[in-house]
A and B are shown apart, each in its own frame.
Chain A
Amino acid sequence: EVQLLESGGGLVQPGGSLRLSCAASGFTFSSYGMSWVRQAPGKGLEWVSGIRGSDGSTYYADSVKGRFTISRDNSKNTLYLQMNSLRVEDMAVYYCAKGTVGATPMDVWGKGTTVTVSS
């Protein structure tokens, strides 16, 4: 069964850092692009970042560029999102999804991990 399991969310003060992880199973992780998508409380979906499987190219939303870093460890079948300089507006449920820009739709999603930014 194809599965994605996020972890690493929690409560952090403004200006703080967190690293999210997404453990993948049931498919050849290294062959697929991956994405992080977030949803603020009561709001819609916002794509945050993506990374290609083929060459590891990375992409970011303007709202997180320079503060967040996406990476992957294909030997561990794990996707990461390093989040620095966190702001109140980054507070959201963060979903990991299999797929990214182009011909790889986001066809598998994790259950999400909650990031709370508050003093």
Chain B
Amino acid sequence: DIVITQSPLSLPVTPGEPASISCRSSQSLLHADGYTYLDWYMQKPGQSPQLLIFMASNRASGVPDRFSGSGSGTDFTLKISRVEAEDVGVYYCMQALQTPLTFGGGTKVEIK
């Protein structure tokens, strides 16, 4: 199984400041079709998860452009250019290259 490791575990942020979450996989997530199957999800308190970024760098429909995803192979980053209060929650990266799909342990973003 592909192991996904996220860091940090907790991320206190100041509104208006940038934030960054790292995600590392135990093997390359580049498929033979040329796409990289790494997705980012956010779960706000008391809510279901929601898709933020798919295939490493594509923002999902309705996601604000302050969210961006980057990376390739085994190393990926989710960046929030300017954190807003509504961004608090737990962020997960997940590999969709092969089954079983596997999630990182999550990063809890909270306001300082």
Q: How large is the interface on B (under 10, 10 to 19, 20 to 34, 35 or more residues)?
A: 20 to 34
Q: How far is it, in angstroms, between the C-alpha of A97 and the C-alpha of B81 when the chains are bound?
A: 28
CA distance A101 to B61 in the complex (A): 19
Tell me if A29 is interfacial: C-beta within 8 Å of chain B. Answer: no
B97 to chain A, nearest CB (A): 8
- Quick one: which of A45, A62, A102, A110 contacts B41, CB cutoff 8 A? A45
Which of A59, A102, A105, A109 contacts B48 (CB under 8 A)?
Answer: A109
Whole-angstrom distance from the CB of B34 to the nearest CB of chain A? 11
The secondary-structure label for the interface of chain B is loop
A-side interface residues, number (CB < 8 Å)? 25
Q: How many A-B residue pairs have CB under 8 A?
A: 69
The answer, yes or no, to whether B64 is at the interface (CB within 8 Å) is no
Q: Of all chain A residues, which has the CB nearest B61? A: A107
Residue of B nearest to A111 (CB): B48
Asked if B51 and A106 sit within 8 Å, CB to CB, the answer is: yes
| Inter-subunit contact A47/B51 (CB<8 Å) | no
Question: Chain A residues in contact with chain B, CB under 8 A?
Answer: 35, 37, 44-47, 50, 59-62, 95, 97, 99-103, 105-107, 109-112
Q: List 25 A-B contacts (CB under 8 A).
A: A35-B101, A44-B92, A44-B104, A44-B106, A45-B49, A45-B92, A46-B103, A47-B94, A47-B102, A50-B101, A62-B100, A95-B49, A97-B49, A99-B51, A101-B96, A101-B101, A102-B31, A102-B96, A103-B35, A105-B54, A106-B39, A107-B54, A107-B60, A109-B49, A109-B50
